């Protein structure tokens, strides 16, 4: 169950080369939202758009494909997407809201749907929730230190960052690649990530990430009826994606399962330790 409930899993990438030109992996999120916008499945989506500083994302409500394109690429720092889901139904006047987020953000969306505290008429307007795999996240200052000090790259020069194969890599516009072992990044991790028990966005309609598929491709889980209809029934049929069965690609689901198990085991241990953190007292556990 470390991969959550799902109906189907494939390796896929967007058919539109314009999307792929700057996407992190297979351009799944951008392509799927673009498709949903064109089809009227959503009338806008909360995505991580460009912020004031390089690689500092800002949640925005995108209502055009052009705005979606601006949000391509992973920014390894916090972007409070859930802060915009209510606003999307307010001054933006959306009736069908798309939202992308890390596993914790998808959890927040689902919780807001079931227990809408101060979330009046938001729940029934969530039309499509796309989750992205997430091992951990970094505060902006942590990311800055990793890129500027440890990788020796100016933030302004970076065009892509990537965590994979045990390394944190930064690519510059002029073609340089700078890498550090992941071990060096651990102290910059956001402490709240250490109690997270979800790797592949178990609660999303569709979740996607790089692990398990080759470079330029993404691993995609379709989880809910809605996700299945939109992805399998419509987008694939209309030719928006190229797909391969996940069993035919390397490293495939085995690696996804291994990383998910590692994350959950490690963080469960952190959670367990919180119970006896002090002497005769512990720290709060949000899961009980």
Check binding of 270 to another protein (CB under 8 A). Answer: no
Q: Does 269 bind another protein (CB under 8 A)?
A: no
Residue 91 lies near another protein (rule: CB under 8 A): yes
41 binds another protein (CB under 8 A): no
Q: Which is nearer to another protein, 87 or 189 (CB)?
A: 87
Instruction: Give the list of residues 6+ apart from residue 279 with CB closer than 8 angstroms, or none.
Output: none
Q: Among the candidate windows 83-91, 200-208, 217-225, 261-269, which touches another protein by CB under 8 A? A: 83-91
Q: Is 30 in the site for another protein (CB under 8 A)?
A: no
Give the nearest distance from C-beta 68 to another protein in angstroms.
Answer: 16
**Per CB under 8 A, 98 contacts another protein:** no
**Which residue in 49, 69, 72, 92 binds another protein (CB under 8 A)?**
92
Q: How far apart are CA 15 and CA 38, in angstroms?
A: 15
- Closer residue to another protein, CB minimum distance, 38 or 149: 38
Closest to another protein by CB, 91 vs 287, is 91
Note whether 93 binds another protein by CB under 8 A.
yes
Asked if 126 interacts with another protein (CB under 8 A), we say no
**Measured from the CB of residue 203, what is the shortest distance to another protein in angstroms?**
26
Per CB under 8 A, 83 contacts another protein: no
User: Which parts of this chain interact with another protein (CB under 8 A)?
Assistant: 43-44, 61, 63, 87, 89-95, 120-121
């Amino acid at each position: 169950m470390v991969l959550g409930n799902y109906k189907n899993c494939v390796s896929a990438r967007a058919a539109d080369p314009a999307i792929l030109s700057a996407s992190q992996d297979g351009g799944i999120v951008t392509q799927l939202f673009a498709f949903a916008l064109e089809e009227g499945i959503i009338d806008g989506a909360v995505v991580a758009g460009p912020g004031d500083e390089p690689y500092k994302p800002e949640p925005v409500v995108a209502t055009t494909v052009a705005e979606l394109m601006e949000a391509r690429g992973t920014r390894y720092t916090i972007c409070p997407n859930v802060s915009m889901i209510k606003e999307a139904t307010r001054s933006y006047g959306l009736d069908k809201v798309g939202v992308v987020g890390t596993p914790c953000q998808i959890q927040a969306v689902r919780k807001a749907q079931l227990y809408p505290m101060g979330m009046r008429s938001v729940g029934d307007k969530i039309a499509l929730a796309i989750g992205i795999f997430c091992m951990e996240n970094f505060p902006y200052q942590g990311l800055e230190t990793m890129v500027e000090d440890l990788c020796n790259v100016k933030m302004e020069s970076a065009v892509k960052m990537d965590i994979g194969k045990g390394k944190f890599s930064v690519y510059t516009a002029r073609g340089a690649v700078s890498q550090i072992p992941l071990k060096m990044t651990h102290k910059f991790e956001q402490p709240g990530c250490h109690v997270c028990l979800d790797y592949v966005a178990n609660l999303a309609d569709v979740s996607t990430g790089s692990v398990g598929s080759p470079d330029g491709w993404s691993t995609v889980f379709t989880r809910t009826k809605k996700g299945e209809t939109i992805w399998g029934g419509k987008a694939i049929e209309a030719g928006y994606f190229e797909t391969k069965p996940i069993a035919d690609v390397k490293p495939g689901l085995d690696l996804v399962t291994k990383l998910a198990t590692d994350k959950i085991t490690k963080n469960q241990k952190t959670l367990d330790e919180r119970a006896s953190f002090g002497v005769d007292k512990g720290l709060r556990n949000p899961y009980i």
